[in-house]
Amino acid sequence: MSMTANASEQIGFIGLGLMGHGMAKNIVEKGYPLTFLGRKNRAPAEDMIARGATEASSPTEVAARSTVVFICVTGSRQVEEIIRGAGGLKAGLKPGSVVVDCSTADPVSTMALATELAELDIAYVDAPLSRTPKEAWEGTLDTMVGASDELFKRLKPVLDTWAGRVVHIGGTGDGHRMKLLNNFVSLGYAALYAEALALAQKVGISPSRFDSVIRNGRMDCGFYQTFMRWTLEGDRDAHKFSIANALKDMTYLEAMAESVGMANPLGNAAKNSFAGASAAGKADQFVPMLATHIGSVNGVDLSPSKPA
């Protein structure tokens, strides 16, 4: 066991997807006992078993074997089912245990779940993620955590196994609120870049000429660079985040704005870029491919030029 692991914590993990598999791998590698929920896609499960993790057949079974359970799934509807559903976490969690929700979720749902679990003396913490599956595998994700000071201190060593940057943003719910704000900025950029690239091509300026001005200038950023790798290089894996998930997150942002009575016109505009692509059958494509779609709608070809 590594020196970083607190031997008293037994970790549970639900959601061995693109992000979750790397996170779970790092928790085990750094010395924590881990029980995970198996899934149809056997490759991540077999990999985790080979690393010494234990497979469970229901969330209740994961809960019964764990003091801290991480959930890393698509969004609030899935999280609610995992906690409240038949064979759910709620049936197996012991008083004093913690559920850590790493999904990008609806904060209204988060607060309802937190209240419900608090009645059973179970804490609910939100720790949504930023960055990509590559960083999940390397253990260098960003996370913004909503938790009490005491809980944050307890969880920090475990979070450090898979995150390079851990920001304690506030109490329960603040992690999910901040994540929606973070994604408003990033997905807003994506909508802007896609439209700008289409307009550039329309007036005769190629993506590479466009890029020669933006890259290394004041408007450059890490998100721009991963976004552009599809259009410039045809790298479909540069940013593995689906248009369907982008639409979900912008819909949660809209609900959050509505819950406080705020008009959110730019958020709605960005949401509709993804809604249009989704309606056109592109939901399973990744966010950088929005540029190709916006181009095609406007009669220009932004599909990546073949590598020389």
Q: Give dist(CA 159, CA 101) in Å, integer.
A: 12
Phi, psi of 94 (to 5 degrees): -90, 150
Reference 180, options 97, 270, 96, 115; nearest CA is 270
Measure CA 37 to chain center. Answer: 19
**Angstrom distance (rounded) from CA 27 to CA 160:** 9
- 300 burial level (CB within 10 Å; 0-12, 13-18, 19+): middle
Q: Which of 179, 248, 271, 282 is catalytic?
A: 179
Q: Please report, in angstroms and rounded to a whole number, the separation of the first and last CA atoms in the chain.
A: 48
* Start-end of H helices in the chain: 20-29, 42-50, 59-64, 76-84, 107-118, 133-138, 149-162, 174-202, 207-214, 222-233, 243-259, 265-277, 290-297
The CA-atom distances, in angstroms, between 162 and each of 53, 65, 138, 267 are 16, 21, 8, 30
Residue 179 known to be catalytic: yes
| Partner residues linked to 123 by β-bridges | 98
CA distance 62 to 55: 8
Structure tokens at 195: 């439209």
> Are the beta carbons of 269 and 208 closer than 8 angstroms?
no
Active site residues: 179
